[in-house]
A and B are shown apart, each in its own frame.
Chain A
Amino acid sequence: MAHVRSEIRQDWVTNTDTYGQLTADIVRPIENKPNALWLIFTIISGLVMLMCFGLIGWTIYEGIGTWGLNKTIGWAFDITNFVFWVGIGHAGTLISAVLMLFRQEWRNSINRASEAMTIFAVFCAGLFPLIHMGRIWVAFWTLPLPNTRGSLWVNFNSPLLWDVFAISTYLTVSIVFWYLGMIPDLATIRDRMKRAGRNFEAWIYGLFAMGWAGSSRNWSRYEVISLILAGLATPLVLSVHSIVSMDFATAVLPGWHTTIFPPYFVAGAIFSGFGMVQTLMIVTRKVYKLENYITMDHMESIAKIVIATGSLVGLAYMTELFIAYYSGSLWERYAFINRALGPYGWSYWIMFSCNVITPQLFWFKKIRTNMLATFIISIFVNIGMWFERFVIIITSLHQDFLPSSWAMYTPTWVEVGIFVGTFGLFMFFFFLFSKYLPVINMFEVKTLMHNIKKPQHVIDIENGNGGSVETESEYESGDSEGEN
């Protein structure tokens, strides 16, 4: 019963011919002591995270007056950063859910890290609405709880409340999806640790592996639940950023009040998310030497999604401009002329060039396969997508209907510090994740391996050495070095 497999299909795993070798390669950072580089970067990002918390503390203690907001521009950096981080949080679930439904095999080796990225990005995003409340201790007022405040209820007509539901559903579902996908891999680590005699680690990983033993009955059920979760998460991903876009689209403000917003925001979110996936994956595959599992084909596939979504975003920009002209509405036309040519015009052109022009370079295979160029473009994508939100929010607000109330907005050092600090938080969690959890979904990647060779421990048994009891040296080699 040999595999039937077309020769023209790419191999998503290269230079790996036993399952054990894959396991050994992926759990290496977990089993070994962290290197100095990892420690330095984790400590730095941890310090930046602490700065973020310090400045949030200062904001809460002193009040929102520490920010550069004014009567005309009532929300700026906070909501920009919120939408930015939520957008980044969209790639993970897209990769794990949508690409799963479309049976894109290449998702298998990048889904774990992107889901982690999603969760940490949503952490960062969730901070901003909370601290913008000013009185963070009454944040529970956003929940429809029976109460004694005259029985005051939340406003179910408000997209801001929809956001509360969408973001919390998205966060919890993403965490569950991530964790569920990790259970078999945690079991693998548990058993490897036990084999190495590291009982404490085996106990810790075993605690979370929930007694997984890989029975076919369990796998069968597991596959069904993964599929249904993917089916549920797919519309969820699309709904979350649609709802975020309605924060703006339901306001009667030129530049915001457009029906194109939901699809436009979703495309932008996927675009920015994949930009961040590129940034992180280029570094991760290099540092952890995972080039055999996150191959150049993977990086090319990601680049292709970036170019597709980037072009969609570009189409949305053009459509907005055209509709502003075609609507005949004086206010709408002015909003867009002001956006491109007004005092914040520079930010519009940063957005346009980073999101629409530079990603077009991915049409060239030379650039798609050049990791330095890809890395730089992915950074541009991140910058461009942050500016997109800045442009949408600030330029629509700062020159409103009444010229006497026109104003400019400049962030204060506190706002900038909090924003920079969220990168510390994001990276700190990502570094911890990359050290203590398998960055690649081992069991899913194993299903993509073909032409497996006989592992060394099997050869040993067949030659009469070993048997059921395994020797230390056998574990050490882990992979089949003798065969390569």
Chain B
Amino acid sequence: MEKNFLIGKFWNTDHVLKAAKTLKEKGVLIYDVFSPFPIHGIEPFLNIKRSRLAIAAFFLGLLGATVAVTCMSLIYGAIWPMNIGGKPALAFPDFVPITFEMTVFFACHGMVLTFFMVGNYWPGKKARLFDDRQTDDVFIIAIDEEKLENESAVKAVLSESGAYEIGYQTL
């Protein structure tokens, strides 16, 4: 699905932040900002909410812990009780290390898989780039043309903030 975007290219994070802030104040909806590294503090200007991956991680960790405790209890409590020096077969303190490791294992891998799925990443996926320098040293603010109301005002904000190139591009 190709769309037309008004883009502004920047070379400095301060300029990008300034532009994003001004656009937000003017009520312009920014489609996205592309940058070679995370720009801290830009999220509110793009209406990005904090990711809920932490919740996923918590439940996945819980799942890991449950799997570990259940398996060990079943194996030692029912399937294969072992009598070592008359000590109880079901010794929960001994289960702590494996339970912990399984918690971390499930939480980490599950969360990374979730991250790949929600972000729609897969090996060999073709990158959609406005400029092949946007992963190197160029910052791009993109605004959806369909949602653009006051073109000249937006262009003015971009150029006043320090954009070195402003134009339309389809992606």
> A residues near B, CB below 8 A?
1-3, 18-20, 23, 144, 151-153, 155-157, 159, 161-162, 165-166, 169, 172-173, 176-177, 180, 183-184, 187-188, 190-192, 194-195, 206-225, 228-229, 232-233, 235-236, 239, 243, 246, 442-444, 446-447, 452, 454-455, 457-458, 461-462, 467-468, 470
Residues from chain A with a CB closer than 8 A to the CB of B17 are: 1
Q: Are B137 and A232 interface neighbours, CB within 8 A?
A: no
Q: In the bound complex, do residue B37 and residue A447 qualify as a contact, i.e. CB atoms below 8 Å apart?
A: yes
- Whether A218 contacts B132 by the Cβ 8 Å rule is no
When C-beta atoms are compared, the residue in chain B nearest to A188 turns out to be B135
**Residue in B closest to A152 when the chains form the complex, CB atoms:** B80
What are the residues of chain A within 8 A of B111 when measuring CB–CB? 225, 228-229
Contacts of A214 in B (CB 8 A): 34-37, 134-135
Q: Across the interface, which residues of B come within 8 angstroms of A442, CB to CB?
A: 36
| B164 near A461: Cβ-Cβ < 8 Å | yes
Contact A216 B42 (CB under 8 A): yes
Q: Which of A177, A462, A468 has the most CB of B within 10 A?
A: A468
A144 near B137: Cβ-Cβ < 8 Å: no
Question: Which one of A23, A221, A225 contacts B137 once the chains associate, using CB atoms below 8 Å?
Answer: A23
Q: Is B147 an interface residue (CB 8 A)?
A: no
B101-A169 in contact (CB<8A): yes
- B127 at interface by CB-CB < 8 Å: yes
Flag if A190 contacts B127 (CB, 8 Å).
yes
Residue B76 interfacial (CB < 8 Å) = yes
Q: Say yes or no: B101 contacts A166, CB within 8 Å.
A: yes
In Å, the complex CA distance between A152 and B70 comes to: 18
Complex CA–CA separation, A210 to B17 (angstroms): 27
> Which of the four size classes fits the interface of chain B?
35 or more
Given contacts A191-B133, A468-B131, 6 further A-B contacts (CB under 8 A): A176-B112, A191-B132, A215-B33, A224-B53, A446-B37, A458-B164
A19 B105 Cβ-Cβ under 8 A: no
CB nearest to B76 among chain A residues: A156
Contact A161 B129 (CB under 8 A): no
User: Which of A211, A243, A461, A468 lies at the interface centre, i.e. has the most chain B CB atoms within 10 A of its CB?
Assistant: A211
Most buried by B among A156, A180, A235: A156
User: How distant is B53 from chain A, measured CB to nearest CB, in Å?
Assistant: 5
Give Cα A19 to B138, complex, Å: 9
Query: What DSSP secondary structure best describes chain A's contact surface?
Result: helix
How far is A156 from B124 in the complex, measured between Cα atoms in Å? 41
Residues of B within 8 A of A468 (CB): 131, 165, 167
Contact A153 B165 (CB under 8 A): no
- A228–B54 CB distance below 8 A: yes
Chain A nearest Cβ from B29, distance in angstroms: 14
How many Å lie between the Cα of A15 and that of B34 in the bound state?
A: 26
Instruction: Return the 4 tightest CB-CB contacts between A and B, nearest first.
Output: A211-B125, A19-B137, A210-B121, A443-B37
Q: Report Cα–Cα, A484/B37, bound state, in Å.
A: 24
Chain A residues positioned under 8 Å from B94 (CB to CB): 156-157
Contacts of B125 in A (CB 8 A): 210-211
| Contact status of A1 and B18, CB under 8 A, knowing A19-B36, A225-B51 | yes
**Interface contact A184-B135, CB-CB below 8 Å:** yes
Please state if A216 and B137 are interface contacts (CB–CB under 8 Å). no
Report the bound CA distance from A254 to B98 in whole Å: 26
Asked if A157 contacts B91 (CB within 8 A), the reply is yes
For B71, the closest partner residue in chain A by CB is A144
Asked if residues A228 and B18 are in contact (CB atoms below 8 Å), the reply is no
A-side contacts of B154, CB under 8 Å: none
Q: Does B23 contact A (CB under 8 A)?
A: no
By the criterion CB–CB under 8 Å, are A3 and B108 in contact?
no
Q: How far is the CB of A173 from the nearest CB of chain B, in Å?
A: 5
Residues of B within 8 A of A194 (CB): 132
Bound state CA distance, A188 and B37, in angstroms?
A: 10
Instruction: Determine how close the nearest CB of chain A comes to the CB of B1; give it in whole angstroms.
Output: 16
Q: Which residues of B contact A187 (CB under 8 A)?
A: 127, 135
Query: Are A224's CB and B51's CB within 8 A?
Result: yes
